Amino acid sequence: MMSKLRLYILRLFIPISKLISHLGKPEPRRTYGDYAAIAEIIRPGDVLLSREDWRLSNLLIPGFWSHAAIYIGDNVLEAVPPRVRTQALAEWVLSVDSVAVLRPTLPIEFGDYSNLYMGADYDWIFADDGAWFCSELVRDYLSRCGLVMSKLKTPQDFFNKRDEFKLLYEAR
């Protein structure tokens, strides 16, 4: 019962949050220069973190970074409502206010597993139920590439794990 109530509230919250974020929201602060710098250094398997300053969800997610995605070569794979999708790197970078690129410190055997996730439902209740929230998707994808990590729950957890990830780029 509680999970159904939580799901209902979250399904109402996300569209309201998006609407408020677009009302009077300035243009994202990232520029083509940020994209060019990232495009020079990024490689498949790197983790992207982002933040959009005017999102209400920032109040609910601990830490500065509020979204995690994984670079799969030309595209970014991410879990966003309503489902998992890919987006071109340039489009992704130019749509956020802050961005960071992290590289696993241990070597990984990168494989294209995006077809296992594409179109899967967004995980509104943050449970192990076959749907995905952003950092859960990134953690699972990297584990398929051979990087078994501690339970990283939030995007900020990735940023804080400097023994597991090297910071390659950050623009706030």
SS3 letters across the chain: CHHHHHHHHHHHHHHHHHHHHHCCCCCCCCCHHHHHHHHHHCCCCCEEEEECCCCHHHHCCCCCCCEEEEEEECEEEEEECCEEEEEEHHHHHCCCCEEEEEEECCCCCCCCCHHHCCCCEECCCCCCCCCECHHHHHHHHHHHCCCCCCCCCCHHHHHHCCCCEEEEEEEC
Which residues constitute the domain of residue 92? 2-171
Can you tell me the distance from the alpha carbon of 122 to that of 125, in angstroms, rounded to the nearest whole number?
9
Q: What is the pLDDT of residues 99-154, one digit of tens each?
A: 999 999 988 999 999 999 999 999 988 887 889 999 999 999 999 999 988 778 89
pLDDT band at 20 (very low <50, low <70, confident <90, very high): low
CA 121 to chain centre: 15
Q: Looking at the 3D structure of the chain, how many domains does it have?
A: 1
What is the mean pLDDT of the segment spanning 11-32? 68
pLDDT band at 76 (very low <50, low <70, confident <90, very high): very high
- What is the domain-level CATH number for residue 58? 3.90.1720.10
CA 1 to chain centre: 29
What is the mean pLDDT of the segment spanning 68-78? 97
